[in-house]
Structure 1
Amino acid sequence: MPERKTYIVEHLDPELGPWSELEYLTIAKETQQAGGAFVLSSLPSGFQVPAKLAEEPAFKAEQRGVEEMYPAGNGKERVCLLDPSAEKDLNPEDKREFDVFLFGGILGDDPPRDRTSELRNKGFQGRRLGPVQMTTDTAVRVTRMVVDEQYTLSMIPYLDMPELKFNEHESTQMPFRYVKGDDGKPIMPEGMVDLIKKDADKSIDDLF
């Protein structure tokens, strides 16, 4: 059983927004530290990978979908689909069961495709990460904590819907679950708080 785990996010969008870019950079850096691999799959032809992401040694861009990468009889049984509708929660024993962890339907087309249900219907085994929606980098972080560090989901310190305070008068509540850092704050990509504040300011400016 190889110890090197692979984390795949199916992107499906023709472009990469600034939020996703920061999340993917964080996934790539943390996966590199853990000795794993991070793949963006199903990338459209002509997709431009940001230079910073392309420089990350753990990162790989892939135009093939996961069905083509791991067909039946050639590794498909070792792929775990992180699926909110799965019957079983992800647990430390899954380290022995799976080599690849797949996050499907994070982004999508317009109208959106339910990529997770498509992959479920194609027979990929599923595991749940709990009932509260996570950001992409948080979902990969939690998966890695369970698989590599052998946490159970109930052992992980979470922060649900945290409020980000920018100053005495400005704050915003994030509609996601995060892992709590040693400083008691949600673990977020570097630069994400600044980006959120800028987006909030832009929205306010648009009102005038």
Structure 2
Amino acid sequence: MAHSGKTFVVEHLDPELEAWSSLEYSAIASESHATGARFLLSSVPASLKLPEDLQHAPGLNVETRGIEEIYAHNKDRVCLLDPAASKDLCPDDGDTFDIFLFGGILGDDPPRDRTSELRKKGYQGRRLGPLQMTTDTAVRVTRIVVQDRIPVDKIPFVDHPELKINKNESTQMPFRYVKGHDGSPIMPEGMVALIIRDSEKSLDDLL
């Protein structure tokens, strides 16, 4: 498939890599690869050993350098996806920017403003609407807007879906997801099982 010329960069702002982040990164890598885009994980500490399956994910490029160093000469082509930006991302931004930058931990609840560390570096910012998204969802939405040229408000979403833990318990996800063809939220492979396992663990802690 032809390279779309778009690069999606997640600046990894943590010394570790949680299991759910690894699943999100794998999903971003495979979707980017399938659509001819490039996925770059930047600022990865040299001491951080990525899980085996992520190391071999097609479409994943890993950099120990930070975004400022990598794109020092074309900063004006970098768009920071920023919940605090004053403008929403639109299809025309696909003509203005080649590099779309994400602050790594978008999926915090409540949101910690991790993006502020990148905002201070002076990148132009765009928003993806009012609701909090997981990192893989934010990349997915950005790709749909700038590569498929579909405006954010025309993308079908599922907000705050409930996941059944068992026949008596369910947990509500505090995020917005892209709606899949079957009507359910698009999540990385293995994510639902991981959430259920974590929920069961925390339920056990309460007992």
TM-score by length of 2: 0.92
Partner of 1:140: 139
What is the rounded CA distance, in whole Å, between the counterparts of 2:167 and 2:159 in structure 1?
22
Partner of 2:54: 53
Q: Deviations over 1:21-56 (max 9, x none)?
A: 111110001000011111111112211111111112
Unaligned runs of 5+ in 1: none
What is the rounded CA distance, in whole Å, between the counterparts of 1:165 and 1:115 in structure 2?
30
In 2 relative to 1, CA 195–106 (structure 1 residues): closer, same or farther, beyond 3 Å? Answer: same
What is the rounded CA distance, in whole Å, between the counterparts of 1:53 and 1:130 in structure 2?
29
Partner of 1:7: 8
Q: Deviations over 1:54-83 (max 9, x none)?
A: 112310111111011111xx1111000001
What is the rounded CA distance, in whole Å, between the counterparts of 2:118 and 2:170 in structure 1?
38
In 2 relative to 1, CA 203–167 (structure 1 residues): closer, same or farther, beyond 3 Å? Answer: closer
Q: Deviations over 1:184-206 (max 9, x none)?
A: 11001111111111001111111
The Cα of 1:3 is off from its aligned counterpart by 2.9
Amino acid at match of 2:80: L
Amino acid at match of 2:6: K
Partner of 1:185: 184
What RMSD in Å do the two structures reach over aligned CA positions? 1.7
What is the rounded CA distance, in whole Å, between the counterparts of 1:3 and 1:16 in structure 2?
28
* 1:40-189 paired onto structure 2 within 5 Å: 40-71=41-72, 74-104=73-103, 106=105, 114-189=113-188
Partner of 1:26: 27
TM-score by length of 1: 0.91
The Cα of 1:158 is off from its aligned counterpart by 0.7
Unaligned runs of 5+ in 2: none
The Cα of 1:166 is off from its aligned counterpart by 3.5
What is the rounded CA distance, in whole Å, between the counterparts of 2:145 and 2:136 in structure 1?
14
Identical-pair percentage: 63
Paired positions, count: 201
